Amino acid sequence: MSVITYGEAIRQAYREEMLRDKNVCLMGEDVGRWGSLYRSSKGLLEEFGPEQVKDTPISEAAIAGCAVGCAALGMRPIAEIMYIDFITIAMDVMVNHAAKWPQLSNGKLKLPIVFKTQGGAGRRNSSQHSQSLENWFVNVPGLIVVMPATPYDVKGLLKSAIRDDNPVVFIEHKALYFEKGEVPDEEYLIPLGKAEVKRAGTDVTIIATSWMVLFALKAAAQLQQEGISCEVVDPRTLWPLDKQTLVQSVKKTGLCLVVTEAPEEGGWSGEASSVIHEHCFSTLKKPVKRHCSIRTGIPYGPVLERQIVPGDESIMKAVRELVKGV
């Protein structure tokens, strides 16, 4: 095992897959000479050349459209959208073309595309560079939606996404790029659609996504000192959803808190809550509780930003309310 950053784990996944398959290519704004926004593709242009690493114009629609064309012709493109906030410009290509063509061709046309982007708050990038828009893509048939929380997960899931024959929306978090964790030195893959229990517990299940996983783990460690045992489950893939792992955990604990950075209104947190209620109704001690960001634009100031987004302290408060009713 090596201890590396989340960003370095991404770079390793790129490099290993490009070495394995010359049809794997990375395209996006500043991914070549600049090495991407967080240097996760640093040095790849020099190693693989412009055939596999290509800087693009500032046009998310063009990036996504080029990726669809490349995939249709047999390549495996990784289309990097610098901020998820800008993915709105690529939505027509992603939703009306990439997600639909395999079905419209009766499975004859495969589109192995990774639409890779990053979202979320935490770095004071204000309202147009800090959104959590993953809920939109969970609603689109034909798209796989992945949100890794650790260096180990981001590498294994990215390699699997690149090898998958379907369009994958791969959403990283800007606050995670410099987080460190253990990553195997040998090659490994993590299957898409498989959740993981990050911490075992007996009193309450916390289902958390992306950056919120780290806060949930921190909260669980502190709550343990108060005598509350929390099980933390990371779905890793929002769709397809590993319902079995979530349900097994909640049947064991009898209580469930769903934590997401995206607002709860019309979102994935409601889907997770519904799954738990449908499959665990007879064993639930109380209704599922959701703890999500406030439905508003993300402020620039750090104090206000922290008030909008869940953190370890607010998660602890939500768990206490659920377990003790206080």
- Dist. CA 171–CA 178, nearest whole Å: 16
The whole-angstrom separation of Cα 78 and Cα 66 is 10
Residue 173's nearest CA partner among 301, 260, 112 is 260
277 in catalytic set = no
- Write out the H or E segment, with its range, that includes residue 87: none
Record the tokens describing residue 255, joined without a space: 């209580």
CB within 8 Å of 279: residues ≥ 6 apart: 243, 247
Q: Is 11 helix (H, G, I), strand (E, B) or coil?
A: helix
| Helix (H/G/I), strand (E/B), else coil: 218 | helix
**Catalytic residue (choose from 129, 173, 279, 291):** 129
How many secondary structure helices (H) and strands (E) does the chain include? Answer: 12, 14
> Two tokens at 301?
């100031």
Asked whether 14 and 52 are in contact (CB, 8 A), the reply is: no
For residue 144, how far is the Cα from the chain centroid?
A: 11
Per 3-state DSSP, the chain is made up of helix, strand and coil in percentages (nearest 5) of 40, 20, 40
**Both tokens of residue 190?**
């993590």
Q: CA–CA separation, 226 vs 286, rounded Å? A: 20
The DSSP string of 133-195 is: -HHHHHTSTT-EEE---SHHHHHHHHHHHHH-SS-EEEEEEGGGTT-EEEE-SS-----TT--
Q: Give me the active site residues, please.
A: 129
